[in-house]
Amino acid sequence: MNSRFPRIASDSTEIHIQGGNQVCDVAKQAAGAVALQEQKILDTEDLLELCIRTEEYCSAFKKFEFFQIVDATDNFSENRNVGCGGFATIYKEPLQGQLPNGLMVAIKRMDVYATVFDFSSEFLLARLQHTNLIRLLGWCIHEKERILVYDFMHKGNLHWHIWETLVHLILDKRNGSLLDWSKRLNIIKGLADGLVYLHKQSMLWIVHRDLKPQNILLDHDMNPKITDFGSARTLSSDVAEERTSSVVGTSGYKAPEYTSRGIYSLKTDVFSFGVMALMIISGRKNTIMEQQGDSVGTLVRDAWQLWNDGRLHELVDPILGGDGFEPAEVMRYAQVALLCAQEDPTDRPTMSDVVALLNFESISLLPDPKQPSDLIKGGAASDKLCTYVSQSSRTIDITITSSAPMSTRVHIIVEPET
């Protein structure tokens, strides 16, 4: 463990969902039934037994009948489809429908390519109850159908609020749900609290492995909820490392050691948190320039350079207009994010450390983030979406590049209205 970051202690047709605030206190032996080894795949009978056993342990986790799911989704109508990904399709149940008390829920239907493990990994959520984690309400297994039911988050995901809103503002001048500075800080704090719970307070040492803006949902009050636990794994201790031959996750948010060697630990999530915090502050994406030997991404590198030049306050998303935040506060949050996004996992703080560091009043108490390793000169440019935000002119410059012919490339520069 890195000595610079000392350990910081942390203090039926009708279904009735109850125990919403109850914490499911399940023994570790029971948790082991869900914390499967990657190589082990349960058959349907074993999975059904797991569902029933989990329901016995957690009173808030209930079985839904298949006809209820079919009625609620209008037989899985495209009109109820609100998203796809991760071997599943998500459906939204309307406020007045077939499910209990008109509860608004999201229904996750696993597709034919999903393994039973993809399904059972999500069962970790049945045991976890925290204000910054999505709540898993129940399950349904019917023939080949494997379905999970969650709370529905009305404000959508973080990716939309940070990125899609910006695109709408650029292209058609519509007013989006702009995240002001206080909301952004609240999201960063909420994510940190949720990860502390996963890594330490749940006593299961859970590593999410796929933290990204699309997997952060927002409730009515814009509080963040970590979701999509299909890739989550439990560890034997809070300092354990495991290796996998099947690396999951999204480029730009995956830790370097996980991307290159398949090694994951709690510090894997810490890296992803650091990148997301920088993205929330800046409104920028993090592009990995693979051909140039990049392991942390353009956003992390640019943020480190601003920190080194004493200009870290310039990282703030210009769409905020320069109001509503203190430069010292920006520098503290951004510097903590840089500490989290360091290449070597031993240089990263734990999430308990992060919460403590965010509460420091002076950045002079913070360690210095190490400089990212040099890029390979002359490497090919990355064929990915790149974003650059000019801080001085308040010009939003988006360049979309690909391996397609030059005629298909787009370059948009839009000056803000005066």
The answer to which of 75-84, 191-200, 310-319, 328-337 has the lowest mean pLDDT is: 75-84
Statement: residue 185 has pLDDT above 50: yes
Using the predicted structure, report yes or no on whether residue 29 has a pLDDT greater than 80.
no
Task: Say yes or no to pLDDT of 342 above 80.
Answer: yes
| pLDDT, position 26 | 38
Compare 259 and 145 and report the one with higher pLDDT: 259
Catalogue the active-site residues. Answer: 210
Task: Kindly tell me if the per-residue pLDDT of 378 is higher than 80.
Answer: no
Span of 50-54, 120-124, 161-165 with lowest mean pLDDT:
161-165
Q: Which residue has the higher pLDDT, 400 or 205?
A: 205
**Domains in the chain, start-ordered, CATH in brackets?**
28-151 (3.30.200.20), 158-377 (1.10.510.10)
| Predicted confidence (pLDDT) at residue 173 exceeds the cutoff of 60 | no
Q: Is residue 4's pLDDT more than 70? A: no
How do residues 69-84 score in pLDDT, each as one tens digit?
A: 888 777 877 665 555 5
pTM of the model: 0.77
HEC secondary structure over the chain: CCCCCCCCCCCCCCCCCCCCCCCCCCCHHHHHHHCCCCCCCCCHHHHHHHHHHHHHHCCCCEECCHHHHHHHCCCCCHHHEEEECCCEEEEECCCCCCCHHHCCEEEEEECCCCCHHHHHHCCHHHHCCCCCECCEEEEEEECCEEEEEEECCCCCEHHHHHHHHHHHHHHHCCCCCCCCHHHHHHHHHHHHHHHHHHHHHCCCCEECCCCCHHHEEECCCCCEEECCCCCCEECCCCCCCEECCCCCCCCCCCCHHHHHHCEECHHHHHHHHHHHHHHHHHCCCCCCCHHHCCCCCHHHHHHHHHHHCCCHHHHCCHHHCCCCCCHHHHHHHHHHHHHHCCCCHHHCCCHHHHHHHHCCCCHHHCCCCCCCCCCCCCCCCCCCEEEEECCCCCCEEEEECCCCCHHHCEEEEECCCC
43: pLDDT strictly greater than 70: no
Among 27-31, 90-94, 162-166, 185-189, name the one with the lowest average pLDDT: 27-31
Q: Mind listing the pLDDT tens digit for each residue in 299-326?
A: 999 999 999 999 999 999 988 877 778 8
Q: Over 80: is that where the pLDDT of 194 sits?
A: yes
Q: What percent of the chain has pLDDT over 70?
A: 67
